Amino acid sequence: MRIILLAGARPNLIKVAPLLSAFERAGITADVAFTGAREWGSSTEDPTRLSFWGVTIQAPRWFLDIAEGTSAFETGTALVAVEKLLAAERPDAVLAVGDHNATLAFAIAAAKQRIPIAHLEAGLRCGDLGVPEEVNRVLISRVTALHLACDEASMAHLMGEGVDPDRIVLVGSVLAESVIRNGESVRDLNVAARYGLERGGYVTGSLHCAENLEDPTRCQAIFDGLAALGLPFLLPDAHGASGALETFGIRVGGSVRIVEAVPYPEMLALLRDAAVIVTDSGGVQEEACMLGTPCVTVRRCTERAATIVVGANRLADASSDAIVSAARDAIEGPRKWLTPKRWDKAVSQRVVRTLRRGVPPLE
C-alpha cells in the first residue's frame, strides 16, 4: 500500500513524527506533503531527514508552500495544489491529519478522485459551527472512508452522525504519543530558568484561535486576566498574538511577557514546569493532560472534552475574573489524573495495524 500523508502547518508535523517512524519500521510507503516551505526545516546529518521546530522527521517529499490567509484563501490554494498532486501520484489511499484548512482541501480533492481517505483525529467535535475548524471537521468526516478516532467521545459523535461503526477505529491520540516519546529528551531541560522563572512559579500557554484574537473585546479581557493572575505569564508567540495586540492597540500589563516562539521540546519543558497553563489551543490541551500540568482553556467550547472529563482541563469565559478564578482552581486542584483511553505510546502501532488491513472505498 502506498499512502500520501498531508501535514498542515506546525502542529501536524510534530504530532505525526512517531507515526512516520512507525511507517518506516513497518515498511509502509508513506510520502509526506507539507503545506509549508522547505526553508521551515533545518538540515541534519542524514540527508533524508529534516528538523522542524526541534523535531526530526523523514523529510517531506513535497513542500506545497501554501501562504497563510483567510479560510477561503488557504482552502482554495491548497485544493489546487493537492488536486494536481493526487492526480499525478494516484496513491492507494491518503491520510488526512487534523482539521486544518489544507486538510479539508486534501479530503475534497481525494474524494473527487475516488481515492480512499483515512482521517486521523476523526470525530472531534466542539458543537459550535461558528468555529472554523468545526466546519472543517464535519465536512472531512462526510467524505472519509476510515475514521481513526482519538477518544471514545469522538467515536460516539461519528456514530451519531450515521457513520458505520465498522469504519471507526479508536487508535488514541498520536500527539499524546509524541509527548511521551519526547518526554525522555526534555527531562533535564530547565527552560524556565532562561527566562528568570522558577519551576512551578509561572504560567505559560499559547493563544491563536480566531474567536479570541480577532475580537478586540475578548482579546483585551484575556490579557487583562493574564495580567491579574498574580504569577508571571510567559507567552511564546508562535501564532501571532503579538500581531493582534498591535492591531487593536492593546497594552499588556502586569508580568505578562511575550517572547519568540521556542522549539517544540523546549515548549514541552515550559508546559511541564508551569503552575498552570492558559491556552485556546487544542494541541496544548492534550499536551497539558499528558504532562500533568493543569490547564485552563479560554474558549466558549472545546473539542478536547476528554481532557475536561479526566480533570486535567477546565473551560473559562474570556473575562478577567473567570480566567483568574479558573487558574486558581487549577493550581489548588490535583496534578494527577487518569489519561483518556489509549493515550499511550502505542497509538502509531494501532494506526499501522489498521492501515495494513486496507482503507475501504467510500460507498
Q: Residue 237's pLDDT is what?
A: 83
Domain 2-172+344-356 belongs in CATH node 3.40.1190.20: no
Q: Residue 37's pLDDT is what?
A: 85
pLDDT tens-digit readout, 292-302: 999 999 999 99
CATH T-level fold of 190-332: Rossmann fold (3.40.50)
Fold match between 2-172+344-356 and 190-332? Answer: yes
pLDDT tens-digit readout, 218-254: 999 999 999 999 999 999 986 679 999 999 999 998 8
Q: Residue 184's pLDDT is what?
A: 82
3-state SS, the chain, equals: CEEEEEECHHHHHHHCHHHHHHHHHHCCEEEEEECCCHHHCEECCCCCEEEECCEEEECCCEECCCCCCCHHHHHHHHHHHHHHHHHHHCCCEEEEECCCHHHHHHHHHHHHCCCCEEEEEECCCCCCCCCHHHHHHHHHHHHCCEEEECCHHHHHHHHHCCCCHHHEEECCCHHHHHHHHHHCCCCCCCHHHHCCCCCCCCEEEECCCHHHHCCHHHHHHHHHHHHCCCCCEEEEECCCHHHHHHHHCCCCCCCEEEEECCCHHHHHHHHHHCCEEEECCHHHHHHHHHHCCCEEEECCCCCCHHHHHCCCEEEECCCHHHHHHHHHHHHHCCCCCCCCCCCCCCHHHHHHHHHHCCCCCCC
Domain spans in the chain, listed from the N-terminal domain onward: 2-172+344-356, 190-332
pLDDT tens-digit readout, 272-330: 999 999 999 999 999 999 999 999 999 999 999 999 999 999 999 999 999 999 999 99
Q: Residue 239's pLDDT is what?
A: 65
Q: Residue 238's pLDDT is what?
A: 62
- pTM (predicted TM-score): 0.95
